[in-house]
């Protein structure tokens, strides 16, 4: 059994707990939290330890799954922990990946561990599909669409507006844009042409809804470049209709082959996810398995999904994979 | 530049010739044919050599792409050539892959070469997606649909019927089955429920069309288990409307997560290909690049798509991949 530890117990931590239980060869050693362990109740009944004591558990853990946020947790936690453990994180600030890689790489090499960063679906499976698409069809173009799904960052941005009690923001791909890409038309698409934003807002009783709506649709970076729809709903409707954390999207590669580029090919990788954190953590657990295997082979340093031979993700033998999946 | 050789100059060989020219870091050393080289005219003007002389070219070739058929060519050619060259083939008789692997593995190890077998889209990219789907969603089910596309084997089977001049067979996924899978309904599907077969036949002038149709739809293995439609057309219509070799299909993984399996996730990998051989050879050339890189690292033996770290498929540096695709 591969003994896994979880650092941080939010949505992603709980998803990881569940994913570890779904796999035949992985077991959950425990959860490490910054909170007082006696106050943390785990879904599975797993042990909870204080994150400050984590180095005392070194011998009992094959790989740590770090479930913190990309803004402030992971840039500190992953380099620190990679010196002592094999680790996996889901660092998703695309622009800062090279910097994060460098920090984690030197720590992991120092400790002779494998540290797999930016695992999940984007970055993660979508990245893999951008890579596979580009190497197969070098003369082509790729498109990533997200949604329909809840964007946590955009929902939070709305919640910070005065008079807003709760909010949920759905990112939705523009259907005509997707269809044009699928037809191989290789459109040039602006931000506005690719996605729309749909917001559900619970406002305070006497709040000025017109002002709230205007603040949302004009908000720079988050909404100003998009066609945004704002719906005001009650707290009951929010709870009833918008409690889930669905997401998804697609990576489409469109490319040409042939001596005269006469043939068009479309590769589409499409995800429809009921639970964003549970799917993300399911990807993470598979790559955590691979991290342990790579570590046992003497490999160390920072790795990404691009570095993992797919067979390493599976608990099955290479022979069985060839026989049953190839 | 990675110097590539092509063995066999049919549709796949020509597709490979074109794919090598589309990649910035690959060059075509020459084509090896069993035919008299003076009778083989290549599209690109590449040199043609007699296959019997291939060992004399050993020092000039980094990897050979073997473009023969799986029935009789590859079981002989791949093990033989793997002793002297890094090789890639697209062996696609799924049931015989373990046997082919064993034969090729010992030859490649003897010659200290990398031999990558069963590369293409199925086996190949579809296999990879079956694997990624299974490791991410271990509690789930996967479905492979083929088409709409031309099946060469089925077209050939019709051509062998008395009174048939030419034939083209399209494999078509049943739309209601695909939609049910996409909804996460996890249907149990019989062969008949997954695909239909659509045939276009050019018959001899006085042929008994009823007999031909009956022979087609009742043909064991090929058609008897399917709903098959037969259309008789003229030779002109065949040439005008059915000269292409399109194909495609999809691998769909449907799985559940959550402590109570309350969340459903759908992963779909979908291909729409104008030219089956050109797409297949585009995949092959990317994996040939990886084969050369693995060989330079001292790896030898038989490998499949499951063994290749995705980054090895790209001419770009790991740094560039992380910065631009992750």
Model confidence pLDDT, tens digit, residues B260-281: 999 999 999 999 999 999 999 9
Give the CB-side neighbour count of residue B72, counting CA atoms within 13 A: 0
DSSP character at residue A245 = B
The pLDDT of residue A73: 96
Cis preceding-peptide flag for B259 (omega within 30 of 0): no
The pLDDT of residue A114: 98
Which residue in this structure is represented by tokens 């050369």? B292
Question: Chain A residues with CB inside 8 Å of B21's CB?
Answer: 259
The pLDDT of residue A190: 96
The pLDDT of residue A14: 97
Phi-psi map region of A170: left, alpha, beta (phi>0 left; psi -120 to 50 alpha): beta
Distance from chain centroid for Cα B278:
10
Burial classification of residue A60, based on how many CB atoms lie within 10 Å of its CB (0-12 exposed, 13-18 middle, 19 or more buried):
exposed
**pLDDT tens digit sequence for A180-222:** 999 999 999 999 999 999 999 999 999 999 999 999 999 999 9
The pLDDT of residue B202: 98
The pLDDT of residue A71: 92
Give the minimum alpha-carbon distance from B199 to chain A in angstroms, rounded to a whole number.
Answer: 23
Question: Chain A residues with CB inside 8 Å of B13's CB?
Answer: none
Q: Is the ipTM of this complex over 0.90?
A: yes
Give me the percent of chain B exceeding a pLDDT of 70: 100
Q: Compute φ and ψ for A7, nearest 5 degrees.
A: -110, 115
DSSP character at residue A202 = E
Asked if A273's CB is within 8 angstroms of B269's CB, the reply is no
B140 at interface of A, judged by CB pairs closer than 8 A: no
Is the pTM higher than 0.95? The answer reads yes
pLDDT-derived band of residue A41, with 50, 70 and 90 as boundaries? very high
> Which residue positions in chain B have pLDDT lower than 50?
none
A19 at interface of B, judged by CB pairs closer than 8 A: yes
User: Are B250 and B271 spatial neighbours (Cβ–Cβ below 8 Å)?
Assistant: yes
Give the minimum alpha-carbon distance from A116 to chain B in angstroms, rounded to a whole number.
Answer: 12
- The helix/strand/coil state of B116 is strand
For B187-245, give the secondary structure using H, E and C.
CCCCHHHHEEEEEEEEECCCCCHHHHHHHHHCCCCCCCCCEEEEEECCHHHHHHHCCCE
- The percent of chain B in helix, strand and coil, each rounded to the nearest 5, is 40, 30, 30
Asked if A182's CB is within 8 angstroms of B310's CB, the reply is no
User: Are B63 and B291 spatial neighbours (Cβ–Cβ below 8 Å)?
Assistant: yes
Residues 39-78 of B with CB under 8 A from A: 43-44
Report d(CA A175, CA B179) in Å as an integer: 18
Residue in A132, A139, A307 closest to B309 by CB: A307
User: Are B172 and B196 spatial neighbours (Cβ–Cβ below 8 Å)?
Assistant: yes
- The helix/strand/coil state of B70 is coil
User: Are A135 and A155 spatial neighbours (Cβ–Cβ below 8 Å)?
Assistant: no
Residues 240-269 of B with CB under 8 A from A: 257-259, 262-269
Residue in B259, B272, B310 closest to A128 by CB: B310
All residues at 6 or more sequence positions from B102 whose CB lies less than 8 Å from its CB, including other chains: B302
- The percent of chain A in helix, strand and coil, each rounded to the nearest 5, is 40, 30, 30
The pLDDT of residue A165: 98
Question: Chain B residues with CB inside 8 Å of A100's CB?
Answer: none
The pLDDT of residue A87: 98
Q: Tell me the angle at which helices A97-111 and A74-82 cross, rounded to the nearest 10 degrees.
A: 20
**pLDDT tens digit sequence for A84-132:** 999 999 999 999 999 999 999 999 999 999 999 999 999 999 999 999 9
The pLDDT of residue B270: 98
The first and second tokens of residue B275, run together, are 């030219």
Report d(CA A70, CA A88) in Å as an integer: 13
Residue in B21, B118, B138 closest to A22 by CB: B138
The pLDDT of residue B42: 94
The pLDDT of residue A267: 98
Asked if B257's CB is within 8 angstroms of A18's CB, the reply is yes
All residues at 6 or more sequence positions from A115 whose CB lies less than 8 Å from its CB, including other chains: A78, A82, A86, A87, A88, A89, A104, A105, A107, A108, A291, A301, A302, A303
The first and second tokens of residue B177, run together, are 């089955």
Report d(CA A303, CA A295) in Å as an integer: 11
Asked if B286's CB is within 8 angstroms of A305's CB, the reply is no
């Amino acid at each position: 059994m591969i003994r896994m530890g979880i650092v941080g117990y939010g949505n992603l931590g709980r998803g990881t707990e569940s994913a570890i239980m779904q796999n035949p060869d992985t077991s959950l050693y425990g959860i490490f939290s910054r909170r007082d362990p006696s106050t943390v109740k785990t879904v599975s009944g797993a042990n909870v330890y204080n994150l400050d004591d984590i180095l005392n558990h070194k011998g009992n853990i094959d790989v740590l799954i770090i479930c913190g946020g990309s803004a402030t947790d992971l840039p500190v936690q992953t380099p620190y922990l990679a010196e002592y453990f094999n680790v996996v994180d889901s660092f998703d600030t695309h622009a800062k990946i090279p910097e994060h890689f460098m920090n984690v790489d030197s720590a992991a090499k120092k400790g002779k561990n494998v540290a797999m960063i930016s695992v999940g679906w984007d970055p993660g499976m979508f990245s893999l599909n951008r890579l596979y698409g580009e190497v197969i069809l070098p003369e082509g173009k790729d498109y990533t669409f997200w949604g329909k799904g809840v964007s946590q960052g955009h929902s939070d941005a709305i919640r910070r507006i005065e008079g807003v009690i709760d909010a949920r923001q759905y990112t939705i791909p523009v259907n005509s844009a997707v269809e044009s890409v699928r037809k191989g038309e290789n459109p040039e698409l602006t931000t506005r042409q690719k996605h729309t934003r749909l917001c559900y807002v619970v406002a305070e009783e006497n709040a000025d809804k017109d002002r709230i709506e205007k603040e949302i649709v004009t908000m720079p970076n988050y909404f100003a470049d998009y066609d945004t729809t704002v719906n005001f709903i009650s707290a009951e409707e929010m709870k009833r209709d918008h409690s889930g954390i669905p997401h998804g999207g697609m990576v489409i590669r469109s490319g040409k082959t042939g001596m005269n580029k006469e043939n068009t090919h479309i590769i589409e990788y499409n995800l429809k996810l009921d639970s964003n954190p549970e799917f993300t953590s399911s990807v993470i657990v598979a790559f955590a398995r691979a991290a342990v295997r790579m570590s046992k082979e003497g490999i160390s340093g920072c790795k990404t999904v691009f570095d993992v031979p797919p067979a390493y993700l599976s608990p099955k033998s290479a022979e069985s994979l060839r026989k049953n999946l190839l």
